[in-house]
Chain A
Amino acid sequence: MVDMKGNDQFYRKWVEFSIESLIRVLGFSSIGFVILIFLFLMREGLIALLDVPWSNLLGTRWYPILEYYGVLPLLLGSILVTLVAILIALPLSVGTAVFIREVAPGWTREILKPMIEVMAGIPSVVLGFFGMTLLAPLLHRYLGLATGLTAFTGALILAYMALPTIISVAEDALDAVPKSYRDASLAMGATQWQTIWRVVIPAARSGILTAIMLGLGRAIGETMLVMMVTGNAARMPITIDSLFRPVRTMTATIAAEMGEVAQGSSHYHVLFALGIILFLMTFLINLTAATTIFRKRRKGGLR
């Protein structure tokens, strides 16, 4: 061992250097993980494209036991459930965000904000369980459906899963609208409502859009609750009444079938291919959301 006291200066520099290097590596780790995730999905999933003919993959039948791997019903199932969920969540979340930011008195805000945080923390499997045992039977009885486990049931609960994300990001967007905008509008004789509707919301438009994109990303990737309440029938959701029938999403298919497939079989690889599709879809959605955030930040708009 070197004499530490004599080399104190050197020793300290060395510690500083090694710690800085370590922190730098940790800082880059996120990029590494995204790449790693993509590589491993590709490693197991790309083979599906060689293994299974395109006409089969792009078919309308998902029936793995007979080697029908048509992903269309699953893709459309995911899109149907997600879009309906966002349609439900949109007015509720923007309305709530505006209410919290612009209208609600202090004490209401103090109750609402923690409630929404609690909501964000409820595990999706608990919501799924609630949907299965309490909501589905209600819908089954009162809407006169053959079963309560439908695309609509899934979308309804999924909307509540996406709500906290959309509300909190939309709130930030409203918060970023300068007070001078509101003052100017009120000074010109507009009511508070007119100010909110014609000045504040338009000014926060891109931030609200970001919020919706992030909510969309969450909704399309949600797995457990969708698997538990949508009924999981892999059929093409193209008729008018599809919304009130069982449907099956990509996420639910992976979760339900991966446990039972033989490693290295075509079925196994196709499930990974579904993972690639999901990865790319959420990647694009989040990229779109992120670019609006970055553009705003550079223009100083988000402050």
Chain B
Amino acid sequence: MKRRYWVQRLGFGLLALAALVVVIPILIVIISIVLRGMSAISWEFLTEMPRDGMKAGGIFPAIVGTTLLMIGTAVVAIPVGVGSAIYLSEYAGDNLFTRSIRLAIINLAGIPSVVYGLFGLGLFVIFLQFGTSILAGSLTLAIMTLPVIISASEEALRAVPTEFRTVSASLGGTKWQGTRKIVLPQALPGIITGVILGLLRAAGETAPILFTVAAFYLPRLPESVFDQTMALPYHLYVISTQVPGMPLEIQYGTALVLLVLVLSLNLIATIIRSYFRRRRQW
């Protein structure tokens, strides 16, 4: 009798240990990058062009580049992703076709990021002749982001109770009117959360932009969507592996800026989600 409880204690202890081993390294990563990167952060670092082969100056063009890529990704991925989610949640029947769409989404989510890079190179850069450009990079990142946005949006749309749709229809509204004026606004917080999570992924990815947009060293701002640009994650890769004699401080500083960008987006998504979940009337 007693032994069983000792086994239970041991078992629970092991489970808690597993959770600790999962969580603590994450804290170590975040804390060590914050501690070592902090001293590099200054107004100049964030707003100036890199100088001396990136060994001095700031990372402004990389920050701008990543921001532009996120905007480009959002412009393409939001309408396609949300539209696709509306189809799946409001229009699609339970048939073979719908199942193939779901299968496609699962596979899209699983395709390696570097394969997206190859695809973007093959289709946008070479076949459609966009060249290595913000346009090609944004389109590539947008397709990669789609599954995240679709799944989150569909979940948010499905969570809206059926009665909302029935009432709208009973007042003479068409299906689209009901969807646009009733269902979509109710699902909006969930959709926004999904969009932010998708964009955050796009902001941190390096492999898809390697051959579609990223410039090694370009100390000026892009002027059109057909220009190359620097980007934060690629810049971090470049200065930590490709440039000998790079001051560690700048490397950690860049890692910190990227980390803060991604984590604050994450935080915003979490806040939106929990705020509206608490306020929800149904």
Contacts and interface: CB of A to CB of B under 8 A. Distances in A.
Contacts of B30: 118, 122
A24 interface: yes
Nearest to A271: B118
Interface residues of B, number: 92
A81 interface: no
Nearest to B118: A275
A115 B104 CA distance: 30
Interface stretch (A51-59, A62-70, A98-106, A140-148): A98-106
B171 interface: no
B100 to A, nearest CB: 6
Given A24-B91, A26-B80, A282-B110, A191 B8 contact: yes
The A contact surface, by secondary structure, is: helix
Interface in B68-89: 79-80, 83-84, 86-88
B92 to A, nearest CB: 6
B104 A31 contact: yes
A122 B262 contact: yes
A119 B88 CA distance: 29
B196 to A, nearest CB: 10
A212 to B, nearest CB: 13
B272 interface: no
Contact of A99 (B8, B15, B27, B259): B15
Contacts of A74: none
Nearest to A193: B8
B112 interface: yes
Given A40-B119, A41-B122, A123-B205, A290 B4 contact: no
Contacts of B251: 129, 133
A224 B109 CA distance: 17
Interface string A113-132: 01111110111111111101
A27 interface: yes
Contacts of B218: none
A86 to B, nearest CB: 15
Contact of A160 (B14, B25, B174, B206): B25
Contacts of B7: 191, 193
Contacts of A100: 19
Contact of A123 (B119, B147, B206): B206
Given A112-B23, A123-B262, A29 B84 contact: yes
B83 A22 contact: yes
Interface stretch (A176-184, A233-241, A250-258): A250-258
Contacts of A95: 14-15, 17-19
A163 B108 contact: no
B262 A30 contact: no
B236 A125 contact: yes
Contact of A121 (B123, B146, B176, B204): B204
B105 A221 contact: no
Given A27-B83, A27-B101, A99-B18, A132 B241 contact: yes
B113 interface: yes
17 contacts: A23-B86, A92-B18, A92-B22, A95-B19, A99-B12, A114-B270, A123-B233, A123-B262, A125-B236, A130-B255, A133-B240, A193-B7, A251-B112, A251-B207, A258-B118, A271-B118, A294-B102
Given A40-B118, A123-B203, A251-B112, 15 more contacts: A23-B91, A29-B80, A34-B104, A37-B119, A41-B115, A126-B33, A129-B255, A130-B29, A133-B248, A191-B5, A221-B114, A223-B114, A255-B117, A283-B107, A290-B102
Interface of B: 4-5, 7-8, 11-12, 14-19, 21-23, 25-27, 29-30, 32-33, 79-80, 83-84, 86-88, 90-92, 99-119, 121-123, 126-127, 143, 146-147, 150, 174-176, 197, 200-201, 203-207, 210-211, 233-234, 236-237, 240-241, 248, 251-252, 255, 258-259, 262-263, 265-266, 270
